[in-house]
Amino acid sequence: MTVLEYAETNGITVQGVRQAMKRYSEELNGHVKSEGKKFILDDFAIQFLDEHIRKPSKVINAQVLKESEEEKANALVAVTAATTALNTEVNKTREEMLKHIDDGFDKLSQLQAASYDDSRLISLIEELKDQIGNLQKELDLKNQAIEEKDRQIKNLNDELKAMTDKYVDEASKSAWQKMFGKK
């Protein structure tokens, strides 16, 4: 393997490999051959350099960035789908509640127009009050469910933002920071 091939394979510069070869010239003596302007490393030299050259930390490449973009897009699709489903459920619930309330008002109107005796009228009014109370309880439960869905959507959005920030932070590091782990 040539010095250039070794450098490219390990994500370091040719200059860095040559400096290491100079630094460890005694240990590498007889394991580096010169063919014209090229230096050829034998298996011992490759293993020795692997153990003694500080290699850069993994660099986020285009594939990793593409995958993170796909993850963000998938998360956004999930949030959008959850929001759409929630809005559909909310609208359906509101329509049902309004229909029930309208039905209750229709019954009240019928009672007022009809000439029922007082006892029948009172029992019907109490019955309607109970129905309206039950509908209010149902509406309260649906509103609690909606609030829970809103919290879930907020959590998904927070997770999406955290993922985005993480990948942006990694992508914005300089080569020096990536090699030596400094911020």
Is residue 21's pLDDT more than 80? yes
What pLDDT was estimated at residue 147?
92
Is residue 151's pLDDT more than 60? yes
Is residue 120's pLDDT more than 60? yes
Is residue 31's pLDDT more than 90? yes
Domain 62-177 has CATH 1.20.58: no
| pLDDT tens-place string over residues 124-140 | 888 999 999 999 999 99
As a whole number, the mean pLDDT across the chain is: 84
Q: Which residues of 19-56 are buried (b: 16+ CB within 10 A; e: fewer)?
A: ebbeebeeebeebbeeeeeebebeeebbebbeeebeeb
Could you list the beta-strand ranges (E) of 30-177.
Answer: 32-35, 38-41
Tell me the mean pLDDT in the region 144-154.
91
**Residue that wins the pLDDT comparison between 57 and 99:** 99
pTM of the model: 0.35
Which two structure tokens, joined as six digits, stand for 182? 């400094």
For the chain, domain boundaries: 3-52, 62-177
Is residue 178's pLDDT more than 70? no
What is the end-to-end Cα distance of the chain in Å, rounded? 34
* DSSP-derived 3-state class of residue 181: coil
| pLDDT tens-place string over residues 40-72 | 999 999 999 999 887 665 544 556 667 777 888
Confidence of residue 181 (pLDDT cuts 50, 70, 90): low
